[in-house]
Amino acid sequence: MLDVARIRADFPILNRQVHGRRLVYLDNGATTQKPVQVIEALTRFYSLHNANVHRGVHTLSDEATELYEDVRAKVAAFINAHSAAEIVFTRNTTESINLVASGWARRNLRPGDEIVVTAMEHHSNLVPWQLAAAATGARVRAIPFLADGTLDMDNARQVLGSGKARLLAVVHMSNVLGTINPVEELTRLAHDAGALVLVDGAQSVPHLPTDVRELDADFLAFSAHKMLGPTGVGVLWGRRGLLDAMDPYQGGGSMIATVEIEHSTWAETPQKFEAGTPNIADVVAFGAAIDYLLDLGMGNVRAHEVALTRYALEQLAALPETHIFGPAQPEQRGGIITFGYAGLHPHDIAQVLDQYGVAVRAGHHCTQPLHRALNLDVGATTRASLYIYNDRDDIDALVDALGRTGRFFGVTGAHSGSGVPR
Ligand SMILES: Cc1ncc(COP(=O)(O)O)c(C=O)c1O
């Protein structure tokens, strides 16, 4: 599997202390830390190759263009896309989804059409569809999830089979429950019903081997910053024919073929969707992040997280006041462990854990409908999320600090209060 000690040596930030303690970084669902290889790729670009892309004929511009386009090809290979032309660089997952909502949904949806989502979507894969629905007269419908955190597939069959579904927008791995949704099966159901499928891969692409040909969906969105890369870079993969038929997202330089005063024609896909100067340096550094993950092997990344998640679930379950959300089996989920503890408010938990150097997230994690469906007495939970540099010591530190948090608040073990189901 993974040599965590060797990996940790590549992440300078993991050497720092927080409140005089070793940093235990368990907020990888929000963003991951960056290895020295990515940091150096960024400074190397600015030190040696910095120029604008697709414009100049001088050497630096050629080099910058080649480095930028090489990463497009690298991303295509990483997810087994047919060609680099299917890869659009955006700012993040959110922008990738908005691009489809704007360029496809607004043009193609009609009153009465349905955009099908799930009750476990991140706001990024919900609000853009609400905007598109408001603009077109379409309706957003959600497939609920069951008590074990898995999707209600009977309902999915019913909703997708209603004859009204035009698009299924579904998260591959929930950023709260950790649930890995059966995207291939859902895609079959949606396609049988004549609907397109957009997969929100923000949490899955960084943690699971991803093959867009096997998924067979129509669009896939993900963010570089959740997979060791810099902030400010996202990816939209789409089927070439669909991208070609879509409206541009923004107008400006670099996305045109010809421009007249009153009208213009567009450049080919994917340039059509990349108006203005892109985030060149960060895209180049994202290439170093992909190299790093390829070097580890995504199968090994997944195996490491399954083993560590199993350990974390066991250790947390041993704390009597803990309630863990999402599927019980590590094979059915990612390394995202959301819990309620001893009736304490998640913000209190996260704040005390921080005093012990343990970084976790507290709140609704941009999933208010999901938290409403959990029927908690506060709309918030605490989330620990794992990645390649986490090990059993980190889990032990979390569990130890949680026990201390309970003692700090004088918890007696009662299940009455915030953060546990009513
Ligand atoms: C499942 C899911 N979708 C979408 C997003 C949005 O990602 P970004 O903020 O990079 O656009 C996130 C980020 O937390 C996420 O977890």
Per the structure block, which two tokens stand in for 316?
């947390």
Per the structure block, which two tokens stand in for 343?
């009736």
- Whose CA is closest to 28, among 306, 383, 364, 362? 383
What angle do the packed helices 280-296 and 298-317 form, to 10 degrees? 80
- Whose CA is closest to 166, among 100, 253, 230? 100
| φ/ψ of residue 293, rounded to 5 | -70, -40
Residue type (1 letter), 269 = T
Residue type (1 letter), 154 = D
> Which residues on neighbouring strands pair with residue 376, listed in sequence order?
421
Q: Cα Rg for the chain, rounded, in angstroms?
A: 22
Q: Identify the DSSP state of 117.
A: E
CA of 49 to the centre of ligand 1 (A): 31
Could you tell me the CA-to-CA distances from 3 to 29, 141, 152, 346 in Å, in that order? 21, 44, 38, 32
Choice from 179, 203, 233, 381 to test ligand 1 binding pocket (greatest atom count within 8 A of CB): 203
CA 250 to chain centre: 23
The atom number, within ligand 1, closest to the CA of 30 reads 14
CA of 407 to the centre of ligand 1 (A): 34
CA of 174 to the centre of ligand 1 (A): 10
In this structure, the residues whose C-beta lies within 6 A of any atom of ligand 1 are 29, 92-94, 122, 124-125, 171, 175, 200, 202-203, 223
The atom number, within ligand 1, closest to the CA of 226 reads 10
- Report how far residue 177's alpha carbon sits from residue 313's, in angstroms, rounded to the nearest whole number: 13
- Report how far residue 368's alpha carbon sits from residue 400's, in angstroms, rounded to the nearest whole number: 29
Catalytic residue among 131, 242, 366, 373: 366
Is the CB of residue 87 less than 8 Å from the CB of residue 237? yes
- Report how far residue 254's alpha carbon sits from residue 234's, in angstroms, rounded to the nearest whole number: 18
Per the structure block, which two tokens stand in for 145?
């999830």
Task: Look at ligand 1, atom 12, and give the residue with the nearest C-alpha.
Answer: 202
Exposure on the CB side of residue 399, measured as CA atoms within 13 A: 17
CA of 202 to the centre of ligand 1 (A): 5
Choice from 32, 122, 208 to test ligand 1 binding pocket (greatest atom count within 8 A of CB): 122
Is the CB of residue 201 less than 8 Å from the CB of residue 235? no
pLDDT at 377: 81
The atom number, within ligand 1, closest to the CA of 366 reads 14
- Report how far residue 229's alpha carbon sits from residue 33's, in angstroms, rounded to the nearest whole number: 8
Choice from 95, 118, 223 to test ligand 1 binding pocket (greatest atom count within 8 A of CB): 223
Chunked into runs of 10 residues, the chain (422 residues) has average pLDDT values of 96 97 98 98 98 91 97 98 98 98 97 98 98 98 97 98 97 98 98 98 98 98 98 98 96 95 97 97 98 98 98 93 94 96 94 97 94 90 98 98 91 48 39
361, with CB counted inside 10 A (0-12, 13-18, 19+), is buried
The model's pTM is 0.96
How many residues does this entry show for the chain? 422
pLDDT at 56: 77
DSSP calls for 344-412: --HHHHHHHHHHTTEE-EEE-TT-HHHHHHHTBSSS-EEEEE--TT--HHHHHHHHHHHHHHHHHTT--
Residue type (1 letter), 298 = M
Q: Identify the DSSP state of 203.
A: T
The atom number, within ligand 1, closest to the CA of 171 reads 1
H helices of 105-174, in order, are 106-108, 127-136, 153-160
Contacts for 32 with CB less than 8 Å, ≥ 6 apart: 206, 225, 226, 227, 228, 387
The atom number, within ligand 1, closest to the CA of 31 reads 14
The atom number, within ligand 1, closest to the CA of 124 reads 4
CA of 330 to the centre of ligand 1 (A): 22
Does the annotation count 366 as an active-site position?
Answer: yes
Task: Look at ligand 1, atom 16, and give the residue with the nearest C-alpha.
Answer: 175
CA of 175 to the centre of ligand 1 (A): 8
CA 35 to chain centre: 19
Q: Which residue has the tokens 């910058």?
A: 64
Task: Look at ligand 1, atom 15, and give the residue with the nearest C-alpha.
Answer: 202
Choice from 89, 90, 94, 286 to test ligand 1 binding pocket (greatest atom count within 8 A of CB): 94
CA of 122 to the centre of ligand 1 (A): 7
- Report how far residue 104's alpha carbon sits from residue 111's, in angstroms, rounded to the nearest whole number: 15
Please, what are the domains in the chain? 4-30+297-408 (3.90.1150.10), 39-294 (3.40.640.10)
Per the structure block, which two tokens stand in for 9?
């040596």
> Which residues on neighbouring strands pair with residue 18, listed in sequence order?
21
